[in-house]
Structure 1
Amino acid sequence: MPYLPTFSLTSHPRWQAAIALLSAVGLLAGCAPMSPAKDAPYHARAPEINRPAVRPTRSLSSFSDSLMCMDHLFRESGMGTVLITSKSIPDYSGRIAVATKEMIVTALSQMSRVSNAFRFVDYEVNIAQQDTVQNLTTLLLNNNQIRLQRPALYVSGAVAFVDQQVISNNVEVGTSASRLETGYSQNKRSTVIGLEMHLGDFRSRTFIPGLDSANEIVIGSGGQGLDLSGRIGNYGVQFNVGRDYAQGSGPAIRTLVELAMIELLGKWARVPYWQCLTLEQTHPEFIRQMREWFEDAGPANRSLLVRRSLVRRGYLETETPDDSALRQALTQFQADERLVVTGVLDFPTYERAMRNFVSLTPQGHLQRVGWVNNAGISMAADTSQQGQPAHIDMQIENLMVGREHFLPGEQIFLSATVSRTSYLYCYMENAEKQVIRLLPNATNSSGWIAANQAIRIPDWMSPTPGFVLDAGIPGQERVACFASANDLTGKLPASLQQPAFRPLQGASSLEDIGVQLRQAAGGDSLVGQSSLKWQVTAPKASAAAPQ
């Protein structure tokens, strides 16, 4: 029988492709119609996927610490609260769409947390985009039910110019052969942004000579690329690698705004503002160097360094706390340092905890003070600094700085600032040795006070302060404030739990109050204390008129 060759349809490449296509169509037809219930587990992952992969962070610039430094300078100078407003800050180049005016408001707020130096008056009315506050303000103004306070100063300025690609550097090189081609490219571009700002007198709408600020900043962009292409027989392959970066204009404008506000208000208040611009934290390489140290330290050393820093600041009692105590300390520290509260030791928390252990060498380089050495030993715990109570800064806020004498019936304005978030208890002792409680009171029943933010006693900026503080009969008067990490109200004797502003029968002096507060805290010495005193003098008798 002769041999007959066989032929299979599936052995031909074209038939194989056709069969694969028909099989795919058959599978799709067999699955139709699709059931949404079968995909429910898949769609249930959508909320998790839609969430951001990183935690939010506060906007920190090179001058964030300088703004806090200015706040303390204003506090030390004894200046009163000044009302200020701002015009809209336009960008005539049309290339930078940022909320410059809101950055000004934020900078003013950060410079007034302790000093109460500036309060922003919102005068802006946008007819094209009305909101609830503007609508209500217009309605109340027309009915004479509201009066806007006139500011003393106003800020004016503009983004003067944005010069793009002032410097441009491009490099391209390549090779070519019969079977291999290579190419390399590199480019760098620099853009210059200029901001002009001025300080004006609101009453006369005139700019104050010499109170101006003109600064520039450079932002850059660049990229690198590598191309490889070759041929193997009749087939070609190609490989591309690229790396690009572009610095944002938003943080650059914020840096210019904060620098301008430091210069303008520092000159206006006649304080040595330049001292706040020489901090190590304003060094351009500070954050970059801190990030490098953060990544090189490792999780164990990071945790140890931060825990020791928290012990020295009074947030922890021991360097080896349990997870719950450590998380609570981190959350309170983050809240006091104006970070996003997460309870996690992330880089912003690490940077805030360790920034006071960095200094500049005479050559201008950043160096660590007491950090991990080559042997892996961390900075030694300073036992003299451990367990320190919260620091309380108290001042008399009357217009005359350093005033210590008052006339009977004259109003007295005080302020207190705590270094850590605490429960604050303030008492006054008059010339008759009567003791009354000022805080907590009806307006602040718990006495809970945020860190690094001045509380007024009484709040003279509020239309309903709750009470006034007047000088009594001639003699010495004193006020003492005590800060505790825990609420001690329910642990105090019943004689000290009487309503505020009434003479306390269970206390004979401010020293007695301090003893009872510490006893309520279980003999805890971590109760901060600060006091002020002044003299009330009788008015001088006027000379008798001649007959």
Structure 2
Amino acid sequence: MRRPAGGWLAALAVAAAMAGCATPMDARKDAAYQEAASVADRPVVRPVRSVSSFSQSLMCMDQMLRAAELPTTLITSKQFVDFSGKVPAATKEMVITALSQMSRISNAFRFVDFEVDIARQDTVQNLTTILLNNNQMQLQRPALYVSGAIAFVDQGVINNTFDTGVSGTRVDLGYSRSRNATVVALEVHLGDFRTRTIIPGLDSANEVVIGSGGQGVDLGGRIGSYGVRFNVGRDYAVGTGAALRTLVDLAMIELVGKWARVPYWQCLTLDQSHPQFQRQMREWYVESGSGGQFQLLRSSLISQGYLPAASGELGVAHPDMRDALARFQADRGIPVSGTVDFPTYEAALGNFVSLAEDGSLARMGWNGADLQPVVAAAAGDDPRAARPSPPKPARWAIDLQIENPQPAGERPAFDEGEQIFLSSTISRASHLYCYFADSAGAIMRLLPNLLQPHTLVSANQAIRIPDWMAPNPGFILDAGRPGTEAVMCLATTEEALHKMAPQMRTPPLARMPAVRTLDELRERFAEVAGPEGLVTQSVQWTVGPRKAAQANGGAPAQRQ
């Protein structure tokens, strides 16, 4: 039987195609397609800060520990074990972050990063071990350590499943729904490093429920000899990592509060610790729309002092608005973008949310574009007692304090040659300058100096004067001759020192012949920064005669 010519032509075409596939392809022909890969692999959503329901509570604890005037304590942590293998998270690093957030202003804790487990040691740890063995390095012994583990993970404690369906000659329809809950428990203890014993009563055991659920619809049928099928589903799952961070933050607040003997429970009753806080804020964020979001955020920035009162007409693309957003984001630890996103919206409006009488979250003083800040309840008061107050810009201020222990209510006094320690904290990101005036009237600049050359500091970050935690603090501040001494810190919105006259730019830690008093120094800065771009704060103390027990003295400020 003779085959038709068309069949042979089709066979030849298939053979040619197969031969072409066997030939190596020219990669250069795909260059235009592949060059988009470097862009396609970029994320499409901006990064956000990792927060929990107790992030604001950690900041509250920082303030509480500072008020308690606790000395800095060295602390370390063991690795947290998860025998279930169901919670793959870096729990120890979460502990370090929680301790760090409780020490921004108070300097309450300093974490000793030393890994004992050889399998977990990195390059820095190996180098540390070499230096320790050669007596070229010493490690300070921590006073406390954190011990803990994932106690248990009970999966599917409750599980509910519902399935139903109908079937016909040409149509099949099905519906399914499922819900389940898993319980994760974390137990944490605080131990005494010197005796390697767990301190009785300093423990925390908490659980969190991780839920998931889903529902779906299946539709199938036949049209003639062809079959069609559709499936639509919706699912959700609460993240294990985020739930564990909540447990860690809560545990560290409990442990630190019990150890420091401070009323830590006042920080756990904040509105922001409400389980539905972020979800409710997200709903309001979506309901406001882009225009409403920006309008509310702009009013909040004005009320908090990041924008002047006459900034009500600035648009989102205005340089001043983008700069204000960036400074606010940097002060709150949010990834800086200069744009209106949900983390910025939540941080700016969090103080305008309170608990209603029924326990739900309610907008307080939130009337269109006019935001009235909620008055914070006093320590120990019910946070629901907070009520809106008339809108006014938040005060831009410096908190300059003497860190040496002093009797309550008494004026600071030091003996000649005694070391003095101070700290300075600014409510907003600013450029910081600090000057010292001795009892003879000589003035010298402490900050910035050769080892601390940068003037820009973040909001609510304690700047130590001198930096007693640094290996080389740059100088030592000793009480000089008997009399009255003082330190003044000045904060400006823009860098001011380079704009001043040459005689004002003397080297740090050297006498400044151009000014005679701290008041005159303040006037010189005001001429450059303007009345709205400068805040100052001063502290002074008296110096008495040297005690007989003291054998050595020191200059008011000397290089180390």
Task: Return the TM-score normalized by structure 2.
Answer: 0.88
1:530 aligns with 2:534: no
2:319 corresponds in structure 1 to: 324
2:441 corresponds in structure 1 to: 433
| Superposed displacement of residue 429, structure 1 | 2.0
Pick from 298, 304, 307 the counterpart of residue 295 of structure 2. 304
2:104 corresponds in structure 1 to: 113
| Superposed displacement of residue 22, structure 1 | 8.1
1:12 corresponds in structure 2 to: none
| Superposed displacement of residue 189, structure 1 | 0.9
Kept in 2, the 8 Å contact 1:389–1:528? The answer is: no
- Change in CA separation of 1:298 and 1:472 when aligned onto 2, cut-off 3 Å: same
Kept in 1, the 8 Å contact 2:401–2:539? The answer is: yes
| Superposed displacement of residue 28, structure 1 | 8.3
Q: 1:419-440 CA deviation, whole Å, 9 max, x = no partner?
A: 1221111112222222222112
- Change in CA separation of 1:460 and 1:484 when aligned onto 2, cut-off 3 Å: same
Kept in 1, the 8 Å contact 2:299–2:370? The answer is: no
| Superposed displacement of residue 234, structure 1 | 4.2
| Superposed displacement of residue 103, structure 1 | 0.8
Q: Matched residues in 2 for 1:128 and 1:206: separation?
A: 25
1:350 corresponds in structure 2 to: 345
- Change in CA separation of 1:244 and 1:446 when aligned onto 2, cut-off 3 Å: closer
| Superposed displacement of residue 372, structure 1 | 4.2
How do 1:354-503 residues align onto structure 2 when only pairs under 5 Å count?
A: 354-373=349-368, 377-379=369-371, 385-386=392-393, 390-400=396-406, 402=408, 404-503=412-511
2:271 corresponds in structure 1 to: 280
Pick from 280, 290, 295 the counterpart of residue 286 of structure 2. 295
Q: Matched residues in 1 for 2:26 and 2:126: separation?
A: 51
Instruction: Letter of the 1:193 partner, please give it.
Output: V
Deviates more, 1:235-244 or 1:288-297: 235-244
2:216 aligned counterpart, secondary structure: strand
Q: Matched residues in 2 for 1:484 and 1:293: separation?
A: 36
- Change in CA separation of 1:267 and 1:130 when aligned onto 2, cut-off 3 Å: closer
1:227 aligns with 2:218: yes
| Superposed displacement of residue 313, structure 1 | 2.7
| Superposed displacement of residue 46, structure 1 | 1.0
Q: 1:116-158 CA deviation, whole Å, 9 max, x = no partner?
A: 1100112213323442111111111111011110000011111
Deviates more, 1:229-238 or 1:322-331: 229-238
Instruction: Letter of the 1:160 partner, please give it.
Output: A
2:229 corresponds in structure 1 to: 238
Kept in 1, the 8 Å contact 2:162–2:176? The answer is: yes
Q: 1:34-86 CA deviation, whole Å, 9 max, x = no partner?
A: 54433322111111111111111111111111111111111111111100011
Kept in 2, the 8 Å contact 1:424–1:447? The answer is: yes
Q: Matched residues in 1 for 2:248 and 2:50: separation?
A: 13
- Sequence identity (%): 54
Kept in 1, the 8 Å contact 2:160–2:178? The answer is: yes
Q: Matched residues in 2 for 1:54 and 1:401: separation?
A: 53
Q: Matched residues in 1 for 2:18 and 2:93: separation?
A: 56
| Superposed displacement of residue 302, structure 1 | 1.3
Kept in 1, the 8 Å contact 2:303–2:371? The answer is: no
2:366 aligned counterpart, secondary structure: coil
How do 1:84-123 residues align onto structure 2 when only pairs under 5 Å count?
A: 84-123=75-114
Kept in 2, the 8 Å contact 1:390–1:483? The answer is: no
Deviates more, 1:359-368 or 1:200-209: 359-368
1:337 aligns with 2:332: yes
2:379 corresponds in structure 1 to: none
Deviates more, 1:192-201 or 1:234-243: 234-243
Q: Matched residues in 2 for 1:367 and 1:462: separation?
A: 45
How do 1:130-141 residues align onto structure 2 when only pairs under 5 Å count?
A: 130-141=121-132
> How many pairs are equivalent?
524
Instruction: Letter of the 2:396 partner, please give it.
Output: A
Pick from 36, 46, 61 the counterpart of residue 37 of structure 2. 46
Kept in 2, the 8 Å contact 1:328–1:343? The answer is: yes
Q: Matched residues in 1 for 2:129 and 2:371: separation?
A: 60
Q: Matched residues in 2 for 1:182 and 1:296: separation?
A: 35
Instruction: Letter of the 1:477 partner, please give it.
Output: E
Structure having the higher Rg:
1
Q: Matched residues in 2 for 1:299 and 1:91: separation?
A: 43
Please give the root-mean-square deviation of Cα atoms over the aligned residues, in Å.
2.6
Q: Matched residues in 1 for 2:266 and 2:180: separation?
A: 34
Kept in 2, the 8 Å contact 1:428–1:479? The answer is: yes
Kept in 2, the 8 Å contact 1:86–1:156? The answer is: yes
| Superposed displacement of residue 494, structure 1 | 2.8
Instruction: Letter of the 1:526 partner, please give it.
Output: G
Kept in 1, the 8 Å contact 2:114–2:125? The answer is: no
1:344 aligned counterpart, secondary structure: coil
1:4 corresponds in structure 2 to: none
Any stretches of 5+ residues in structure 2 without a counterpart? 374-388, 550-560
2:476 aligned counterpart, secondary structure: coil
Pick from 133, 142, 148 the counterpart of residue 151 of structure 1. 142
